[in-house]
């Protein structure tokens, strides 16, 4: 069993916040791969299905961001998972908007959801870092992450979530590098397709 965790805050008022892009990614995976309806489990919402032949539990903690680790700890202990089987999707200030990077372990860089996870389950889980960009000043970070994505952001956000969802089976198979490269390739192809045709010379 693999545990795919999206980080975010529960409630309609937070649904389109930049901080909730982890929830958005998990929702996109569930929709693309026809997972069943969400059920309340482990202090969160869960849906169980398969990705690339691997059993996967999609999970959205409902404890608010700062207590995400408590909910994830319940689920990971129930299934007796290794940290390598826990894949966490989260917003990343230190990546440009629309960039995706995968890594195992590392620092938490002030992210309260990651801090809670590390405190409850350990540090060496897989992180799918989804870039939202940095506002430029430290005192603007909270407002930035808790603001909704701007209308202009949807030009890159929707293709990004689609690519993450389509390529998610590679994460289930622990082919993290392949997932990352295929997402990047899909987004590059999308941008190329969107280019206006050049005028004939």
Burial status of residue 89 (CB atoms within 10 A of its CB: 0-12, 13-18, 19 or more)? buried
Catalytic, 154? Answer no
- Give the integer Cα–Cα distance in Å for 48 and 34: 10
Contact 79, 1 (CB under 8 A): yes
Which residue(s) pair with 61 in the sheet? 44
Active-site residue (options: 19, 33, 90, 111): 19
E strands in 24-170: 39-41, 44-51, 54-61, 86-92, 100-104, 126-131
- Give the integer Cα–Cα distance in Å for 160 and 25: 9
Burial status of residue 32 (CB atoms within 10 A of its CB: 0-12, 13-18, 19 or more)? middle
Q: In what order do the strands lie in the sheet with 44-51?
A: 39-41, 44-51, 54-61, 2-6, 86-92, 126-131, 100-104
Query: What residues are annotated to the active site?
Result: 19
């Amino acid at each position: 069993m693999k545990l795919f965790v999206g980080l975010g805050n529960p409630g309609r008022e937070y649904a389109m916040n930049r901080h909730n892009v982890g929830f958005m990614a998990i929702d996109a995976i569930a929709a693309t791969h026809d997972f069943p309806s969400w059920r309340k489990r482990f202090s969160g919402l869960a849906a169980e299905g398969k990705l690339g032949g691997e059993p996967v539990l999609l999970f959205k903690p409902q404890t608010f961001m700062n207590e995400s680790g408590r909910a994830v700890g319940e689920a990971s202990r129930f299934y007796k998972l290794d940290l390598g089987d826990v894949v966490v999707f989260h917003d990343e200030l230190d990546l440009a908007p629309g960039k995706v990077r995968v890594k195992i372990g590392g620092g938490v860089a002030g992210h309260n959801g990651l801090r809670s996870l590390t405190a409850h389950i350990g540090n060496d889980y897989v992180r799918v870092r989804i870039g939202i960009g940095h506002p430029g000043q430290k005192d603007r970070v909270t407002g930035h992450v808790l603001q909704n994505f701007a209308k202009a952001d949807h030009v890159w956000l929707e293709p990004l979530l689609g690519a993450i969802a389509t390529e998610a089976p590679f994460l289930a198979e622990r082919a993290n590098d392949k997932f990352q490269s295929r997402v990047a390739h899909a987004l590059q192809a999308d941008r190329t397709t969107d280019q206006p045709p050049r005028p004939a010379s």
